[in-house]
Amino acid sequence: MKCIFIFGTIFFLHFFINAQPYEFYDKTGNLKNEFKDDFGILAEEYLPYTKEYISLDSAMLEPNKVYKLNLSSSNLTEIPAEVFDLPNLQALNLWNNKITEIPEEIAKLQHLRYFSINDNELNTLPSQIGILSKLIMLDLENNNLTSLPVEIGQIVNLQNLLIGGNKIKFIPEEICKLQKLYNLSAWGNEISELPQNFGDMYNLQSLDLSQNNISALPLTFANLDYLMILNLSQNKFNEFPEVLTQMLLLPYLNISNNSISELPKKIVEMERLQMLDLSGNFLSTLPKNFDNFEMLRQIILRNNKFTKIPDVLCTALSVSDIDFSYNELSEIPENISSLVFLRNINLSNNYINEIPESFYSLRAVEKINFSKNQISDISTEIKNFTTLTNLDLSKNMLTSIPKEIEELVNLEIIDLSDNQIVLFDIDFAAFQNLRELSLNNNLLYELPLNIEKCQNLEKLFIKGNKITVDEIKKLKNQIKGLEIAW
Residue 53 falls within a domain, yes or no?
yes
**pLDDT value at 369 more than 80:** yes
Residue 153 falls within a domain, yes or no?
yes
**pLDDT value at 236 more than 60:** yes
Of the listed ranges 16-30, 348-362, 392-406, 462-476, the one predicted with least confidence: 16-30
Q: Are residues 22 and 171 in the same domain?
A: yes
Q: What is the pLDDT of residues 406-442, one digit of tens each?
A: 999 999 999 999 999 999 999 999 999 999 999 999 9
Q: What is the pLDDT of residues 198-217, one digit of tens each?
A: 999 999 999 999 999 999 99
> HSE on the CB side for 323, CA within 13 Å?
16
Domain boundary among 367, 401, 434: 367
Q: Are residues 147 and 278 in the same domain?
A: no
Q: Are residues 152 and 207 in the same domain?
A: yes
Confidence class for position 280, pLDDT limits 50, 70, 90: very high
**Residue 267, exposed/middle/buried by CB under 10 A (0-12, 13-18, 19+)?**
buried
Q: Are residues 231 and 275 in the same domain?
A: no
Residue 128 falls within a domain, yes or no?
yes
Give me the amino acid identity at 328: E
Element (H, E) at 391: strand 390-392
Which residues are CB-contacts of 27 (< 8 A; sequence separation ≥ 6)? none
Helix (H, G, I), strand (E, B) or coil at 87: coil
Cα dihedral: 272, 277, 281, 286 (round 10) = 50
Confidence class for position 258, pLDDT limits 50, 70, 90: very high
What is the spatial distance between Cα 288 and Cα 286, in angstroms, rounded to a whole number? 6
Average pLDDT over residues 48-56: 90
Q: Are residues 58 and 200 in the same domain?
A: yes
Contact 227, 254 (CB under 8 A): no
* CA nearest to 163, candidates 180, 145, 186: 186
Question: How long is the chain?
Answer: 486
- Higher model confidence: residue 16 or residue 365? 365
Q: What's residue 21's pLDDT? A: 60
Q: Are residues 276 and 221 in the same domain?
A: no
Q: Are residues 65 and 10 in the same domain?
A: yes
The Cα angle at residue 221 between residues 215 and 227, in degrees rounded to 5: 115
Confidence class for position 53, pLDDT limits 50, 70, 90: very high
Sign of CA dihedral 176, 179, 180, 183: positive
What is the spatial distance between Cα 32 and Cα 485, in angstroms, rounded to a whole number? 62
Q: What's residue 12's pLDDT? A: 46
In the chain, the N- to C-terminal Cα span, in Å, equals: 36
Q: Are residues 329 and 223 in the same domain?
A: no
Q: Are residues 176 and 291 in the same domain?
A: no
Residue 435 falls within a domain, yes or no?
no
DSSP string covering 438-463, please? Answer: E--SS--SSPPBTGGG-TT--EEE-T
For 74, phi and psi rounded to 5 degrees? Answer: -110, 10
- Higher model confidence: residue 14 or residue 426? 426
Contact 252, 274 (CB under 8 A): yes
**pLDDT value at 20 more than 70:** no
Q: For 9-26, give one letter per residue: b (16+ CB within 10 A) or e.
A: bebbeebbeeeeeeebee
Q: What's residue 1's pLDDT? A: 40
Element (H, E) at 139: strand 137-139
Q: What is the pLDDT of residues 83-105, one digit of tens each?
A: 999 999 999 999 999 999 999 99
Q: What is the pLDDT of residues 149-161, one digit of tens each?
A: 999 999 999 999 9
**pLDDT value at 401 more than 80:** yes
Q: What is the pLDDT of residues 290-344, one digit of tens each?
A: 988 999 999 999 999 999 999 999 988 899 999 999 999 999 999 999 999 999 9
For 222, phi and psi rounded to 5 degrees? Answer: -65, -15
Contact 319, 313 (CB under 8 A): yes
Average pLDDT over residues 213-231: 97
Domain region containing 133 = 1-236
Contact 304, 281 (CB under 8 A): yes
- Higher model confidence: residue 14 or residue 190? 190
Contact 8, 185 (CB under 8 A): yes
Domain count for the chain: 2
Q: Are residues 165 and 228 in the same domain?
A: yes
Domain boundary among 221, 236, 251: 236
Q: Are residues 229 and 283 in the same domain?
A: no
Residue 1 falls within a domain, yes or no?
yes
Q: What's residue 8's pLDDT? A: 43
Residue 35 falls within a domain, yes or no?
yes
Residue 401 falls within a domain, yes or no?
no
- Higher model confidence: residue 389 or residue 46? 389
Domain boundary among 367, 396, 423: 367
Residue 8 falls within a domain, yes or no?
yes
Q: Are residues 14 and 160 in the same domain?
A: yes
Average pLDDT over residues 283-292: 93
Confidence class for position 9, pLDDT limits 50, 70, 90: very low
**pLDDT value at 10 more than 70:** no
Q: What is the pLDDT of residues 261-274, one digit of tens each?
A: 999 999 999 999 99
What is the spatial distance between Cα 92 and Cα 87, in angstroms, rounded to a whole number? 12
Q: What's residue 34's pLDDT? A: 83
Q: What is the pLDDT of residues 119-167, one digit of tens each?
A: 999 999 999 999 999 999 999 999 999 999 999 999 999 999 999 999 9
What is the spatial distance between Cα 408 and Cα 460, in angstroms, rounded to a whole number? 19
Contact 459, 436 (CB under 8 A): yes
CATH number at residue 161: 3.80.10.10
